[in-house]
Structure 1
Amino acid sequence: MSGGLAVLWKNNVNCRVIGSSINHIDIHIVERNVPVWRLTCYYGFSERARRHDAWNMLRQLAQVDGLPWFIFGDFNDLLYASDKSGKHAHPLGLLDGFRAAVEDYSLTELELTRGEFTWEKGKGTDNWQFRFRFENVWLKEPSFYDEVSTFLSGIPTIQLLPKLLLVSSFMAKWGRNFFHKFRDKVKKQKEVIDGLINRVDEDGVRSYFIEKYRLDDLMKQEEAYWQQRAKTIWLSEGDTNSKKFHAQALMRKKVNRIDFLRNDQDEIIDN
């Protein structure tokens, strides 16, 4: 829930964890008719100021034992300038430092067989992959649980990753349809209330409040939808300390401020 690393393996593979930290998990793997070998699953420091710590960590890991060693993961580093796409060149000092750490222990890079880059900012390439985002507002729709459960029960017994991809694709499609239908539901619900607002008979008043409660529930769902998006935008762009977010903060303060109240005698109360 708060970050970290995890390694999963099948029951027919004999694995023994020999060490770990917040940046790596070290494993000895025993296979039939194959000498014992070592696997390190690695995640490098994301902070550029800690690159030297990452390189020194690689050097320390390389000295653990003399077994055949395979290390993979996200190094947050580049060996060559060509490994990066974009107008800003990667600093030469960082390239040289990481390359030196790799060469110190004769590590050999395995070429990627698919996808030239491990991370892409946006669409536009043949290798761009689908990104799934779960919407909190879906949990407020009763039919969500039933439809996802029905879809899950229809999936044959397969490995975990393909199953997750199938379910996430289904939920993403469900979410798109839900949002389009949701806007129609809000519009129709407002029309129902407009038709009841002028009624003064007991049944009319009762119906008005029932339909008003239903509209309130829809509004809460819509609020959850946009609240999640607002937080996502803030998390992705708020640290830039830009004028845009300063303006948003000032506007929010202005909107939330109450300058005065007016009582039943139409007097302004401002203290």
Structure 2
Amino acid sequence: RKLGFDDRLAYVSLVGLSGGLLLFWDFYVNIIQIKKKSFYIAVEFSLGLDPPQWGIFVYFSTCKQARISQWEELLEDKDHWGDSWFTIGDWNDLRTAEEKLGGIKKSSRSFLGFNSFINRMGMDELPLQGYKFTWCNLRDGEGMVEEKLDRGFASFSWTQSYQNACISNKIKSASDHSLLLLDLGQQNNKRTARFHFDERWIGMEGFQETVEAAWSQHTEGTPFFRLKEKVKNTKVALLTWSSQLKSKNQMTIEVLTKKLEILREDKAEDYWDQWNKTRNDLNEAHRLEEQYWQQKSRLRWIKEGDGNTKFFHAYTLQKMKLNAISRLITPQCNVLTSRVDIENHISEFYSDLFHTEGSWDGDSILQLIPRTISDDMNQDLLKPVSEDEIKSALFSLHPEKSPGEDEMSA
């Protein structure tokens, strides 16, 4: 609940100090049913207008005999999933000798059991993008061992529905296992993002100079028009300046992540020194991301530095999805799914709603309504607003909220 998922979770408890599974899902995922065993959580669900499918999230035992028993259980349970399903997790087994680097070499015979199980399941392995190993014992020198223990599979029917699906290997510096990201390969129609002032800019090199240069540009017209132009000039200047900064920040994370992969492959003499330095630099880059997503989530009750980047990110995406309209049913019972069609229909609806062909004489009705505002009160309401009142109202707003037509926050 503290992570914002309420009761949208399922779990399998630990057995001693091993095993255990924890599954969260977002509010837009329609859960139909959940089945659990000691080593997996199987969920039947649907996404939007897509037909129902099964996702089986697994953690297999490190003990070979126990793992074989789990294979047989999964084979028996497979009939409950229908034709469309995928499974992903820690399989604790290898398919080929190339999936292990370092340590004691395995014989080709040791791979027969796992590959036979995969064939009996009738599933295809989903392509893995990025570094080819998903686990490392994080030991120095010749004691280091890397293996591909984590992977995903899917039924033939599922792969036909999601032909562009793939899994990305996201190396995590704080864990011996990588994070696997399953991408269904579906395209989303996204609108152009609005300008949003990023509080991380404050104090960064070039920020103060950019604002001062934009604000000092010569403008002509009424005082309010000049103010509006100055705000616009500042926004344009910040967009130009921040685009370079944003690209640099994203590139930094990508470069450092790639460097971790390269360090694992090269295994230079000063490997661990470089690894620790790169990991610290990457953690700092992620700290900035945490600050960014905290601001976007607009949650003020969690402090920076609490390691809640994923929560801030998830909360922000949840707000976006709550505000999003993915489909609309018209009064004629037509279902609109295209963003352009939805926007046009909403525009026409409110245009018709507020359209008027004239006004009626309501004076006779208004005269029957008793007056509750005196002349003195009316004069007080109609008097010009003072600068102090404007300042008081403006400064009472949260500095990162209430963006106006110029897209600048208060």
TM-score (norm 2): 0.32
